Structure 1
Amino acid sequence: MGKKKNKSKRPIKSLKDPEQVVTSDYIGGDSFDELLSKLIRGVEVAKASAGGLPEKIWMKQQFCVGVNDVTRVLERMPAAVASHSGCSSEASTRKALRRAPLVPLQAVLVVADCHPKWLTKHIPILASTRQVPVLCVKDNKGSSLRLGQVANVRTALAIGIKARDSIINKTIDEVLKGINAVADEQKISTPVPSSSSSPVA
C-alpha cells in the first residue's frame, strides 16, 4: 500500500476580509427602524410626485434590488483606484461607450445576518473600489424582510440607491452625514497612546 501525503495544515490567507474593508459598524435596533421609516417615507413622497410612471419602472429607476443587480451596477461603475489588470484605459473606455448610460450608486444597503454569508461577502469590497458607502443592517434574521419593504419586494439581501437627486438621496445623505459625525466623535474621544517614555536615571 502506498503512503498518503500529509497536506499542509496552514490556513489559507485571504487578501482582505470584507469586515476589514468596511469601516462602519452594523446598523441595528432603533437606528435601523429610524433608517427604514425615513426611507419608506421618502419613497412614498417621491412616488407621489413621480407622475404617471408605473410603480415597477419607477422603482427600477431609483433602486438596484438584489445581490446580482447591485453587483452588476457596481462592476459597471468606473473604479476609483487605478486597476492592476494591465488592460489599456482606451479599451475600457470603448467598452463603456457601447453600453447603456449608467446611473451610479449613491450607497448600498446590505443585510449583515444573511446565511450563507458568502452571498454578500463581495459587495463591500467591490463598493470600496468604487468609493460607494456600504451600510450593513442587522436585525435578528429579519433584516431581509424589512429591507425588502423599502423597494416593495418580499425580501432583499442588498439594495443599491441610485444617485438621482431625489428625496430618497437626500435621506441617505442625512444618514451618511450622521454616521460620519459619530465616527469622527469616536476618533476624537479615543485617547492616542504616547510613544515617548521618560528617561530612566
Structure 2
Amino acid sequence: MGKKKSKPQRPIKSLKDAEQAPSSDYIGGDALDDLLLKLTRSVEVAKASRGGLPEKIWMKQQFSIGVNDVTRVLERMPAAAASHSGCSIEALTGKALRRAPLVPLQAVLIAADCNPKWLTKHIPTLASTREVPILCLKDNKGSSLRLGQVADVRTALAIGIKARDSIINKTIDEVLKSSKPVANEQQIRQLVPQSSDMMD
C-alpha cells in the first residue's frame, strides 16, 4: 500500500518540560508553609468578626473558590488595557456594566499540582490582562489539598482573594510584597503549557 508521511521533526515539549520551569516562580517549601499559615490565621481572625452571616456566605464574600468561579470573576473584571487606554465608563455598554463583579480579585492562588495541566492554563493569561497577581503554589504534599484548607473545602486548584478591606487582604499584601508573583507573559508561558504543546 502507501507509506505513511512522516511529520517534520520539531522539538517535543511535554508536560514534564513545563513542570521543570524555574522554581523561583513557584512558592514552595518553608515559604509555602508560612503563606498558608498566615492565610489560615487571618481567615480565622476574620471569621470571628463576620457577625451573623452564615460561614458559607461569608466565605463566598471573601474568596472565589475553584477554577470556574475564579475564571468567571476574572472574565467579568475589565481588562487593564481598556482602563489605561482612556476608555471612559460611558463607553461601556449597559450589559458590560451589569456583568461587572461587585468585588474584583486582589490575587489568585493556583495549585501547581493540577493534573491535567490544561484545567488551569488559562487563568494566568486571563489574570495578567486584568493585572491580578498570580501565586503558583508547589508542594510535594499536594498543594491543592493545602490550598483547600484555607477556604474550608476539601481541595482547590485555584482560589481568588476578593479585594476587600479585611485582614485577609492585608496578609496577601504582605505576601505580594515579599514574594515574586507571576506577572509577565514570558513567565506564564514557562509555567503553563500552551494548548499546541499538549497536542504533540
What TM-score comes out, normalization by structure 2 length? 0.75
Note if contact 1:108-1:134 (Cα within 8 Å) is conserved in structure 2: yes
Residue 176 of structure 1 aligns to which amino acid in structure 2? L
C-alpha separation between the residues in 2 aligned to 1:81 and 1:100? 16
Aligned length: 170
Give the deviation of 1:166 after TM superposition. 0.4
Note if contact 2:147-2:157 (Cα within 8 Å) is conserved in structure 1: yes
C-alpha separation between the residues in 2 aligned to 1:143 and 1:40? 14
Q: Structure 1: 5+ residue runs without aligned partners?
A: 84-88, 181-201
Give the deviation of 1:121 after TM superposition. 1.2
Note if contact 1:108-1:135 (Cα within 8 Å) is conserved in structure 2: yes
Note if contact 2:73-2:101 (Cα within 8 Å) is conserved in structure 1: no
Give the deviation of 1:119 after TM superposition. 1.1
What TM-score comes out, normalization by structure 1 length? 0.75
1:63 corresponds to:
63
C-alpha separation between the residues in 1 aligned to 2:90 and 2:24? 35
Cα-to-partner distance string for 1:123-153 (whole Å, 9 max, x where unaligned): 1111111000000001115111110010000
Give the deviation of 1:102 after TM superposition. 2.5
Note if contact 1:24-1:135 (Cα within 8 Å) is conserved in structure 2: no
Residue 38 of structure 1 aligns to which amino acid in structure 2? K
Describe the shift of the 1:132–1:62 C-alpha distance in structure 2 as closer, same or farther (beyond 3 A).
same
SS in 2 for 1:161: strand
C-alpha separation between the residues in 2 aligned to 1:9 and 1:123? 31
Cα-to-partner distance string for 1:162-188 (whole Å, 9 max, x where unaligned): 0011000000000011125xxxxxxxx
The structure carrying a bigger helix percent of its residues is 2
Note if contact 2:112-2:136 (Cα within 8 Å) is conserved in structure 1: yes
Give the share of equivalent positions with the same residue, in percent. 82
| Superposition RMSD in Å | 2.9
Q: Structure 2: 5+ residue runs without aligned partners?
A: 84-88, 181-200
